[in-house]
Amino acid sequence: MNHKVADEGLAEAGRLKIEWAESRMPVMMELRRRFDKAKPLSGARIAGCLHVTKETAVLIETLRACGAEVSWSGCNPLSTQDDVAAALAVAGVSIYAWHGMSTEDFYWAIDRTLDFGPNLTLDDGADLIFTVHNRFRDLAADIKGGTEETTTGVHRLRAMAADGKLLYPVIAVNDAETKWDFDNVYGTGQSSLDGILRATNVLLAGKNFVVAGYGHCGRGCASRAKGMGAHVIVTEVKPTAALKAVLDGMQIMQMDDAAKVGDIFITATGMKDVIVDRHFESMKDGAIVCNTGHYDCEIRIPDLESAAESMRAIRPNNEEFTMKDGRRIYLLARGRLVNLAAAEGHPSEVMDMSFANQLLSLKALHEEPERREIGVHDLSERQDQEIAGLKLETIGKSIDALTPEQVAYMDDYSAGT
Ligand code: 9W1
C-alpha cells in the first residue's frame, strides 16, 4: 500500500471539500487547463510536505494533471484534514498523513515520501529538505531543486546556504509578493476575525477593537475590524508602522491605556509579553483576548491564570477567567493562533495565488536543462505579475496597458519636467 491515512471511508466528504476549493481557486484551475495537453511536469517526481487541506489537494491534483508523480506528507500533525487525505489516497496519491499523528509517525511519514526517489521537493517549514540533508544525502544528487512556502523555512535555508551546507537550489516561494502580501493581509485579516466570531459570536460594530502590531497581519485585522464597524485602536513600538496606522485612520495608544478601554484585543506582533499582568488588572469586565502571531507567548497566560480566582471553558476555544474582583476576561484558543485554532486558516482564494507560485516555481526548476546554481533564489518579478494578472483575468477584472509612447516616455529622461 502506498498510503497511510486515518480512514478511507471519509473520502467522499473530502472530495466535496476539494471540489468546493476548486470552485474558489480559478488561477489553479486555469493553469490546470492550460497545461493539460503539454504535461510540462512529466518526468517530475515531486515529494511534498505541506498542510493536508482542501487547497493543498487542489495543488497536488494540479501537479498530477501537469504530468508529475507526487508523494505527500503533512507538515504539521494538527493541520491535516482526514477527509481530504482520504480523498487523495483513494485517488491514488501516495500520501502519509493523519490528524494528531505522533512526532515519530510524522518523521516516518516524511521518510515514506522519499521512498520513490524524488527529483523535486516542496516544503513548508523545510522539514523535508532537512530530512534529505541529514539522513538521505544520497538522494540530493538526483534532486534538481526545491521550493519553500514559509518565512521561517526560507530563513533557515538562507542560513544553511550561507554556511555552504545546502546541497541543491531552492526557490523562496514565500518572498513572492502574490504570496506573502496577500496571505498576511487578506488571509490572516479575514481568518482572524472569523476565528474571533466563531469563538464568541460577538457584535463587532461599536466595539473598541485593539490590534497590537501594525505589520501586514495587524493591518489586515485592523482594516477588517474597521470594515465591520469597530472602533480600531492600534499599539506599536515602531514609529513608521504607528504613523501608517494613524494615517489609515486608526487610533494609536500605548497598551497600558488601550487595556483600560478595549473590548477585544488581538496580538499580531511576533514579540513576547505584549499583554501581561498589569494589562489584565486594568481590563474591563467582559474583555476578549486573543493572538494571531506565530508564537503563543504574546499574551502572558500564566499572568492571567495567577490573577484569576476561577476559570472555566464556556464555549469551544473560549475560556472565561474570573478575577478576584469579579471581572471576567475571555481568552480565545489558549493564546494560540486564533485564525487556525478557531477558524480554517486562509481562504481558498488566497491560497490560489500561493500555490500558483509553487506550481510555476516547480515547473521552472523542472524545465531548466542545467541544474540551477545552489542557493536560495527569489522568484522572478515576471512570475508575480503573471499570477496577479491571471487572478484578475479569472475573476473578470480588466486593467489598462501602457501604449508604446508611454513606455518610451517612461524611459526618456531628456523630456525634463
Ligand atoms: N495551508 N492550506 C489549520 C496553517 C498551521 C491549518 C496551519 C493553508 C491552507 C497559515 C497555512 C484548522 C489549514 C491550515 C486549516 C486549518 C498554517 C500552521 C493555510 C494558514 C499556514 C502552523 N500554519 N495556512 N488553507 N494549520 O490556511 O494550506 O484549520
Q: What is the pLDDT of residues 172-204, one digit of tens each?
A: 999 999 999 999 999 999 999 999 999 999 999
pLDDT of residue 22: 98
Question: Which distant-in-sequence residues (6+ apart) come within 8 Å of 145 by Cβ?
Answer: 120, 121, 168, 169, 170, 171, 365, 368, 371, 372
Using a 6 Å cutoff on CB, does residue 152 contact ligand 1? no
Report yes or no: 101 and 77 within 8 Å, Cβ to Cβ: yes
Of 22, 148, 336, 340, the one to substitute when testing ligand 1's pocket (max ligand atoms within 8 A of C-beta) is: 340
Task: Please list the ranges in the chain whose pLDDT falls under 50.
Answer: none
Residue 216 grid cell: 501586514
pLDDT of residue 401: 96
Report yes or no: 95 and 71 within 8 Å, Cβ to Cβ: yes
Report yes or no: 88 and 62 within 8 Å, Cβ to Cβ: no
pLDDT of residue 115: 97
Q: Which atom of ligand 1 is nearest to the CA of 294?
A: 22
Q: What is the distance between the alpha carbons of residues 269 and 248, in angstroms, rounded to a whole number?
A: 18
**What type of residue is 371?**
R
pLDDT of residue 416: 63
Using a 6 Å cutoff on CB, does residue 384 contact ligand 1? no
Q: What is the pLDDT of residues 117-170, one digit of tens each?
A: 999 999 999 999 999 999 999 999 999 999 999 999 999 999 999 999 999 999
Report yes or no: 57 and 87 within 8 Å, Cβ to Cβ: yes
pLDDT of residue 417: 59
Domains of the chain by range and CATH?
A: 8-179+346-394 (3.40.50.1480), 186-341 (3.40.50.720)
Nearest CA to ligand 1 atom 7: 79
Query: Ligand 1 centre and the CA of 338: distance in Å?
Result: 11
- Pick left, alpha or beta for residue 398 (phi over 0 → left; psi -120 to 50 → alpha; otherwise beta): beta
Of 56, 122, 183, 346, the one to substitute when testing ligand 1's pocket (max ligand atoms within 8 A of C-beta) is: 346
The distance between the two most distant Cα atoms of the chain, rounded to a whole number of Å, is 74
Q: What is the distance between the alpha carbons of residues 414 and 373, in angstroms, rounded to a whole number?
A: 40
